[in-house]
Structure 1
Amino acid sequence: MLRDEVANAFKVLQEGGIILYPTDTIWGIGCDATNTEAIQKIYRLKQRDEAKSMIILLDTENKLESYVQEVNPLAYDLIEYAENPLTLIMPGAKNISPALIAADGSVGIRVSSNEFCKQLIQRLRKPLVSTSANISGKPSPQYFSQIDQEIIDGVDYVVDIDQHSKEIKNPSTIMKLAPDGRFEFIRR
């Protein structure tokens, strides 16, 4: 089941499609983080301002250096010891679509603990875009049955895992981490 869903989602991503999928936090809309056209599809579906960047998911913190110019060693400790899912906003984004890089050159990155996400990212060999499965300005759905039909109809593939789960999941904690180690909470 998991293997089949990873294979199905992988095929859609390879073809430039967008998917609706479960994460270690709330349900997300995603695509290949190097595919600008697919990223723009997500912005249109969410009716989101392109100045509001989206985050990328990695399967392991060992890949941080592939997508950020200079990783402060503190980033590894923060990821390792975080009690809740943690998104780190770091400067010097590289090797991803320019559509994901904020005006200040930063990118938000979360190392996912979700098994589906990890396997899909390993198979894709690229980061996965992740943004909440809602129209901009509307509340983020805490589980699948709260997702607007407009979102479900607007993606190219809906992953058939955890759709019946009613476990309340919250968005990740977001911290901005400077190369010198200073950090600030954006969302707790």
Structure 2
Amino acid sequence: MVTDIINAIRSNLLVCFPTETVYALACNAMNYNAVEKIYHVKKRDHDKPLSILVNSIDRIMEIANVQEQYIDLINRFSPGPVTYVLSLNNETGLPSKFFKKNVGIRIPDHPIAISILDKLDFPIVATSINISGKKSACTINEIPQTIKQHLSVIIEDDKLVHGMESAVIDLTTDQVRILRKGYVFQS
């Protein structure tokens, strides 16, 4: 199934797979049409950015500017359920309509997600699989049919999905800001 997901992503199709947080709706982050389709099927406003998954801190640094003071923090919480908001490098190749100044990037800690990312040489958009504003899918049965019909491949594996979105921290300034507590910083 992982090979099918990889082939679909390379063909700029939409896929679904589990992460340690929730199920991901994913595509090639470099392809304008694929990213646009995610906005369409989620019914998401274009002013709400999508996050990217990568497999290493080196990949993060290819896409975004990481202040030296935050490298240890990223290494401490990665891989894991933390999304870092960072300023984009100028020459990322990401579609500028969707990725403007900043980007959310995460290194997942789920064997399926990592096995997919390790075989791709580009970042993928990976967002919670839900209609925008609704509950994220934590099991395969919670994926809305209106989204399922647009998926080329689905990998089911509910057992390692915790059911809470990633924490989101803003690292674009000299002061770390927690934008969403998520799985890591819940009280």
Same fold (TM over 0.5): yes
Match of 1:183 among 152, 176, 179: 176
Q: For the residues of structure 1 that align with 2:19 and 2:128, how far apart are their CA atoms? A: 10
* 2:118 counterpart SS class: helix
Structure 2 length as normaliser, TM-score? Answer: 0.87
- How far apart, in 1, do the equivalents of 2:169 and 2:81 lie? 11
SS at match of 1:100: coil
- Aligned-pair identity in percent equals 25
- Of 71, 80, 85, 2:75 maps to 80
Q: 2:154 aligns with which of 144, 154, 158?
A: 158
Q: Which has the higher strand share?
A: 2
Q: Deviations over 1:58-100 (max 9, x none)?
A: 11112122101x3112333222323961100011243322243
The answer as to 2:53 corresponding to 1:57 is yes
Give the match's secondary structure for 2:169: strand
The 3 A distance-change label for structure 1 pair 45 and 177 is same
Between stretches 87-96 and 133-142, larger displacement belongs to 87-96
Given that 2:20 and 2:162 are in contact with CA atoms closer than 8 Å, whether structure 1 keeps it comes out as no
Equivalent residues in 2 for 1:10-159, closer than 5 Å:
10-68=6-64, 70-82=65-77, 85-93=81-89, 94-102=92-100, 105-159=101-155
- Residue 52 of structure 2 aligns to a residue whose secondary structure is strand
Change in 2 beyond 3 A, CA 1:73/1:147 = same
Unmatched runs of 5 consecutive residues or more in structure 1: none
